[in-house]
A and B are shown apart, each in its own frame.
Chain A
Amino acid sequence: MSEEPPISDTVVSSEKLQVVPKNRVGVRENVFADQVFRGFVILCALAVLAIVGLIFFELVSQSRLSISKFGLSFLKKQIWDPVAEDFGALPFVYGTVVSSLLGLLIAVPLSIGTALFITEICPGRLRPVLSLLVELLAAIPSVIYGLWGIFVLAPFLRLHVQPFLATYFGWTGLFSGPKYGWGMLAAGCIIAIMILPIIASITREVIMAVPRVQREAALALGATKWEMLRMAVLRNARPGIFGATILGLGRALGETMAVTMVIGNRPEIAKSLFAPGYTLASAIANEFTEAVGNVYFSALMEMALVLFVITLIVNALAVLLVWSITRGMPSRSLA
């Protein structure tokens, strides 16, 4: 696809040759207007770059105090003491990573299953309905997930799921201690529900991108439907599914309100998933307006910086992976 339309080329070159007929008034003005318009949209594009740069710059400059005071130990310490103005982000990083991985663990198999169902099994008429349902799941605001998490999911976990897990899997050490309902497990479940749609919709698209002949070849060789899906579809779609997973991880790491409402908000590192935890994002949301003292502010800012850098890396990785499958035309569902 040639993008520069030929007409503007001829206008420019004819102008250079000074053969613009006098009666064609406005050519010069049009060339000028074209350049103004082009400049405007380039400015808009530059704004996107500028915003990301500005975010980074603001976060660094606001957290300078904390960076200079704690240095690298900020990421290694487990202390969170606003009174003594001593801060370490390790429990928050731990909480962020563990809750996100827990969410992925639940969401990825379900998403792949859903994507396969929508593309390969589901009868044609049901397909748009199911896609709409998944899309709606993505449209529910975080704070409503949190509301539901507090009043519905947490009591359900406390009364039904946690006793079961404690009885049969308590020996692993992952499911022991007091059963509040809310805590790391609840956060993982909520995150899973929230990232399901994004992983499922991108997986669906990479699965649909697998050429039809691949499927037909597998079936012609006598494969059952599942063998065809496994050997022809999933194998080809694997990098894309991995990209979708990483993108889901990026979402999970930055998930704020719902997690804040169910994770318990206690900066501790506990082995048990029943125990409360804290994440970088929820600490910022919870404490920022109440923070007193420059160091406290600055420490929260540095946590935002850590979160920003982590999600930027994770997202960059995911975008590159998905691009490699869809050939530079990332899907709308990236949104």
Chain B
Amino acid sequence: MPKANHTTSLRRRLSNGLALGLITMAALIVTVPLFLILGTVVQRGLGSLNWAFLTQIPKPIGEEGGGMGNAIAGSMLLLGFASLIGIPLGIGAGVFLAEYGRNKFGNVVRFTADALNGVPSVVIGMTAWALVVVPQKHFSLISGSVALGIMMIPVISRTTEQVLLLVPHTIREAALGLGIPKWRTIVSVVLRTASAGIVTSIMLAFARIAGESAPLIFTAFGNEFWNMSPNQPVASLPLQIYKYAIQPYEQAHAQAWTAALVLITMIVLTVVFVRFVVSRGAIKGAS
């Protein structure tokens, strides 16, 4: 049958169509849970969302009203203190990897950072517990921040490395050619050029740790009241969601959904912001 040589056989065409169909279906299936989760969070969370929820502290179970103002503030404080650890160390390590780390030692650091990134958050939480809570003898904001700060380091350092490598070599050479010392070149020229990218890396790290609850269980612990002191336990949104979700009361569940809505809004805004910065070309090709 000479004709068969010119047209693709039925079997091949069928398997082609079937495979492409399955691939398309897989992509569709993957998006379903996202919409389901976001939809449920909005639908169940919107009901209890009001000003009091954002500003008041929780009321005892059974009483109407109350909010999670302390947990929202607690989450912010945890992020703030974690940043004190995570941002300098992360950027420093990132600068090392990009500017001084094209060697074996650099590869070891790179590898370790990736490994640290994969360490379960609950294990990092236990380490923070052993390092801070045990000597302090009580749970505290600062111990939670240590755990979260450690988690920020690999994210920030690896992303910073990547955006620094995107800064054209000619810019470095131009600065060095003007007689500017290397450290000054890195700080004022390279880091400056890549600043949007570094902000992105910090935001990515925020998105990663803002929703963490596992390491906070035995570090920041939770608190029913306002707390600003680094040495006292503090409430946080993710942990509050967990605590309310496993309670057997409808009202607590409703609050958990609303907290989820608040948390997810914060995180999605961060991610979309990162996307926006990246697509604006502030750091070309970094995405």
- A positions within 8 Å CB-CB of B: 1, 3, 5-8, 30-31, 33-34, 36-38, 40-45, 47-49, 51-52, 54-55, 58-59, 61-62, 109-114, 116-118, 120-122, 128, 130, 132-137, 139-148, 150-152, 193, 196, 200, 222, 224-227, 229-230, 247, 250-251, 253-257, 261, 281, 284-285, 288-289, 301, 304, 307-308, 311-312, 314-316, 318-319, 328, 330, 332, 334-335
- B positions within 8 Å CB-CB of A: 8, 12-13, 15-16, 19-20, 22-27, 29-31, 33-34, 36-37, 40-41, 44, 88-93, 95-97, 99-102, 105-124, 126-127, 129-131, 150, 153-155, 157-159, 162, 169, 172-173, 176-177, 179, 181-187, 204, 207-208, 210-214, 217-218, 221, 238-239, 241-242, 245-246, 253, 256-257, 260, 263-264, 267-268, 270-272, 275, 279, 286-287
* Nearest Cβ on chain A to B281's Cβ, whole angstroms: 14
* Nearest Cβ on chain A to B238's Cβ, whole angstroms: 5
Q: Which of A193, A255, A281, A304 has the most chain B CB atoms closer than 10 A to its own CB? A: A304
| Distance A267 CA – B127 CA, assembled complex (angstroms) | 24
Residues of B near A31 (CB, < 8 A) are 181
Given contacts A41-B92, A147-B260, A254-B120, contact A117 B27 (CB under 8 A): yes
Residues of A near B31 (CB, < 8 A) are 130, 133
| Distance A61 CA – B22 CA, assembled complex (angstroms) | 51
Given contacts A261-B245, A289-B221, contact A225 B20 (CB under 8 A): yes
The contact sample of 18 A-B pairs, CB cut-off 8 A, is: A1-B169, A3-B100, A8-B181, A41-B96, A48-B116, A55-B127, A59-B130, A62-B126, A113-B22, A136-B271, A139-B271, A144-B263, A254-B119, A285-B122, A316-B115, A319-B111, A332-B162, A335-B158
| Distance A303 CA – B246 CA, assembled complex (angstroms) | 24
**The one of A3, A113, A304 that contacts B27, using a Cβ cutoff of 8 Å:** A113
Q: Does the CB pair A254–B96 fall under 8 Å?
A: no
Residues of A near B162 (CB, < 8 A) are 332
Residues of A near B130 (CB, < 8 A) are 58-59, 61-62
* Nearest Cβ on chain B to A185's Cβ, whole angstroms: 15
Q: Does the CB pair B126–A301 fall under 8 Å?
A: yes
Q: Does the CB pair B118–A44 fall under 8 Å?
A: no
* Nearest Cβ on chain A to B138's Cβ, whole angstroms: 12
Residues of B near A5 (CB, < 8 A) are 172-173, 176, 182, 185
Residues of B near A113 (CB, < 8 A) are 22-27, 30
| Distance A140 CA – B101 CA, assembled complex (angstroms) | 33
Q: Does the CB pair B96–A139 fall under 8 Å?
A: no
**The one of B120, B158, B181, B221 that contacts A330, using a Cβ cutoff of 8 Å:** B158
Give the top 10 A-B pairs by smallest Cβ distance, nearest first.
A141-B211, A113-B26, A254-B120, A44-B92, A37-B183, A315-B118, A117-B27, A30-B181, A226-B19, A41-B96
Residues of B near A3 (CB, < 8 A) are 99-100, 102
Q: In this complex, what residue of B is CB-closest to A141?
A: B211
